[in-house]
């Protein structure tokens, strides 16, 4: 079989929930490249994953931030994995739970052997947030492969959204010599969702055909 052709036909709608992990040490049976998603609680992470996979309940959404408390793996045709990480910066959970979030996120990002990129989701409807920039800086310092996905691009007037994204990119330019991949999305309008899927497939193709 021509794998390049097969890869182009990979359908994210065939994604399936694989397993939830409470400890990084439990992740021993995965060999596929991992594309992880992280961001402040209520940034639209679950909605984005659901839009990408065209399934309303692939990742659990909630009106209450902090819903994701484990590392959730989703398999896409046994070729790649989508990884839903706990959100950061949610102040209303207990200090103990928040510390556990931080520990499991750090352990995963530093120890995963198959992590290709961690997409940091940024709310385009608001100005740059310090906690997002601090997380990006931490990834840079620890050589964690990182990308940026702007979410909620439909929530404000285009000029406001554009100004917020430009401001965030300016801040990033102070942290990175070369900017990471940056994508603009909306789970509601599906803006950029197909582009995200194609980008992921292109990276996997590059892994398999260096």
Instruction: State the pLDDT at residue 160.
Output: 97
Instruction: State the pLDDT at residue 209.
Output: 78
Q: Could you give the residue ranges of the DSSP H alpha helices within the chain?
A: 3-8, 45-53, 95-111, 130-141, 158-173, 193-208
**Integer CA distances (angstroms), 89 to 49, 93, 207, in order:** 20, 10, 33
Instruction: State the pLDDT at residue 155.
Output: 92
Whole-model pTM: value is 0.90
Pairing verdict, β 71-76 and 34-39: unpaired
Q: How far apart are CA 162 and CA 184, in angstroms?
A: 10
Q: How far apart are CA 44 and CA 26, in angstroms?
A: 27
What would the mean pLDDT of 185-200 be, rounded to a whole number? 97
Could you count the other beta carbons within 10 Å of the beta carbon of residue 63? 6
* 66 or 188, which is more confident: 188
7-35, pLDDT tens digit by residue?
A: 557 899 999 999 999 888 888 878 899 99
* 39 or 69, which is more confident: 39
Instruction: State the pLDDT at residue 92.
Output: 55
Pairing verdict, β 182-184 and 16-21: unpaired
Q: How far apart are CA 44 and CA 3, in angstroms?
A: 33
Residues 6+ apart with CB under 8 A from 101: 69, 86, 87, 88, 90, 93
pLDDT at 1 over 50: no
Instruction: State the pLDDT at residue 53.
Output: 97
**Phi and psi torsions of 97, nearest 5°:** -65, -40
Domain ranges of the chain: 3-208
Instruction: State the pLDDT at residue 4.
Output: 47
38-49, pLDDT tens digit by residue?
A: 999 889 999 999
Instruction: State the pLDDT at residue 84.
Output: 95
Instruction: State the pLDDT at residue 23.
Output: 86
pLDDT exceeding 90 applies to what percent of the chain? 70
Fold of 3-208: Rossmann fold (3.40.50)
């Amino acid at each position: 079989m021509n794998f390049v052709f097969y890869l182009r036909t990979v359908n994210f709608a065939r994604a399936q929930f694989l397993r939830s992990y409470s400890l990084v040490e439990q992740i021993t049976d995965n060999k596929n490249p991992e594309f992880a998603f992280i961001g402040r609680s209520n940034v639209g992470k679950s909605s984005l994953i659901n839009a990408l996979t065209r399934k309303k309940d692939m990742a659990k959404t909630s009106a209450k931030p902090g819903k994701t408390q484990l590392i959730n793996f989703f398999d896409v045709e046994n070729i790649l994995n989508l990884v839903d990480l706990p959100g950061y910066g949610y102040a209303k959970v207990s200090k103990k739970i928040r510390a556990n979030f931080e520990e499991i996120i750090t352990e995963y990002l530093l120890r995963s052997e198959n992590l290709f990129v961690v997409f940091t989701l940024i709310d385009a409807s608001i100005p740059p947030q310090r906690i997002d920039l601090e997380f990006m800086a931490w990834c840079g310092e620890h050589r964690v492969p990182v990308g940026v996905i702007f979410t909620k691009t439909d929530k404000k007037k285009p000029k406001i959204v554009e100004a917020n994204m430009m401001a965030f990119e300016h801040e990033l330019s102070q942290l990175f010599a070369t900017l990471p991949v940056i994508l603009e999305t909306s789970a509601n309008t599906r803006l950029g969702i197909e582009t995200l899927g194609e980008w992921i497939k292109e990276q996997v193709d590059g892994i398999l055909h260096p």
